[in-house]
Structure 1
Amino acid sequence: MKSAAPRGERETRLDRKDGPERSCVVTRTVKSPDDLIRFVVGPDGSLVPDLRRKLPGRGVWASLSAATVTEAIKRRAFERSLKTKVFVSPDLAAMIDGLMLKDAQQALSMANKAGLVQAGFAKVEAMIGSGRCAAVIAASDGAEDGHRKIGQALRRAEFAREEAGLKPRKVPVVAIFAGEDLELALGKAHVIHAALAPGPAAEGFLSRWRRLVRYRTDDAGAVEPDEAAVTDSVDPDSDTTIP
């Protein structure tokens, strides 16, 4: 019987053949790094989430899920995997959520600086009608009437595409930011709605948003990006956004 290859040798082969893969400390499922969160031990001996996967040191990985991170804390899985004493904050799952939200906010700011964001209901409505809207961004604390009107504009645009014989196209509605967060990201006051035009910076923002959605929905993820977007999309059967 052929003996199993040493762990390090196995990882090298995986890296060459399929790209780097790591296993979750809780489920032991082998996944791509894009489907996991990396953690390292910081200089002060505390566990640090390495969202960009660039920090030095031996890494330990958990699935892209707040529930999985919470379970890892409960089981002391990080300490066992690292084989060293490490302080793990009981608020680690919430800390990661905050970091990912801030990362998405910064990415939205970059898209705005690249000229890809239009703020204000009239401009949003016009961009939706033009067919060039990559996403709508709605303040989570905005008025229901505004959400309803955005939903109506999206449905009108979809109906126009159907009438023209074009392929259906779902425009995601990103509702992870409160109004004050949008104001900070865009450098403007009283922002309730904004529209995102296509471009590399816009896709960078949407990628971070999708990742946060997956984290909050317990990696409902192993789904395609367009499916993940449904979490914050306008419900086609109502005049409100899905929270």
Structure 2
Amino acid sequence: MRLKARSGSRRKEELPANAGPVRCCIGCGARRVQEELTRLVVGPEGGVVVDRRRRLPGRGAYLCGVGCLAAAVKRKAFGRAFRGRAGPVDPSVLGQALESGPVR
């Protein structure tokens, strides 16, 4: 069986060469520098929490902002991003945490 080559229809976003690690938003799929995105992890209780300081252990998922949160919930992206380990996701709590701004 022969595999087809992928067409070049998907354009890659232009990112600076030495910008740092690049991550993908689970809501919209945009590729951005890690510092521009908000990291989410599965907390000790099993729920999804915002990791502002980027220090909590475990697998992380990234969001651009509050607008992408609704898209991620609709696409059921949290289950895939955390490989089925994500507990119930409360969009209102996550939305408030995302709107509170960065802590650095």
Deviations 1:179-201 (A, max 9, x none): xxxxxxxxxxxxxxxxxxxxxxx
| Counterpart position of 1:29 | 30
Give the superposition deviation at 1:90: 2.5
Residue correspondence of structure 1 range 21-170 to structure 2 within 5 A: 21-63=22-64, 65-86=65-86, 87-91=88-92, 92-98=94-100, 100=101, 103=103
Give the superposition deviation at 1:18: 4.5
Deviations 1:99-157 (A, max 9, x none): x28x4xxxxxxxxxxxxxxxxxxxxxxxxxxxxxxxxxxxxxxxxxxxxxxxxxxxxxx
Taking the aligned partners of 2:25 and 2:32, their CA distance within structure 1 comes to 8
| Counterpart position of 2:15 | none
Taking the aligned partners of 2:20 and 2:98, their CA distance within structure 1 comes to 25
Please list every run of 5 or more consecutive structure 1 residues that lacks an aligned counterpart in the other structure.
1-16, 104-207, 209-243
Give the superposition deviation at 1:53: 1.3
Structure with greater strand share of residues: 2
Partner-residue secondary structure (3-state), 1:94: helix
Give the length in aligned residue pairs. 86
Q: 1:19 to 1:67 in 2, by over 3 A?
A: same
Question: Larger relative contact order (C-alpha < 8 A, sep ≥ 6)?
Answer: 2
State the 4+ residue runs in structure 1 displaced beyond 4 angstroms. none
Taking the aligned partners of 1:23 and 1:67, their CA distance within structure 2 comes to 15
Question: One-letter code of the match for 1:83?
Answer: R
Give the superposition deviation at 1:23: 0.7
Question: One-letter code of the match for 2:70?
Answer: T
Taking the aligned partners of 1:74 and 1:23, their CA distance within structure 2 comes to 17
TM-score (norm 2): 0.69
Question: One-letter code of the match for 1:48?
Answer: V
Taking the aligned partners of 2:47 and 2:35, their CA distance within structure 1 comes to 23
Deviations 1:164-221 (A, max 9, x none): xxxxxxxxxxxxxxxxxxxxxxxxxxxxxxxxxxxxxxxxxxxx7xxxxxxxxxxxxx
Q: 1:85 to 1:18 in 2, by over 3 A?
A: same
TM-score (norm 1): 0.32
Are 2:41 and 2:49, in contact at CA under 8 Å, matched by a contact in 1? yes
Residue correspondence of structure 1 range 161-240 to structure 2 within 5 A: none
Question: One-letter code of the match for 1:55?
Answer: L
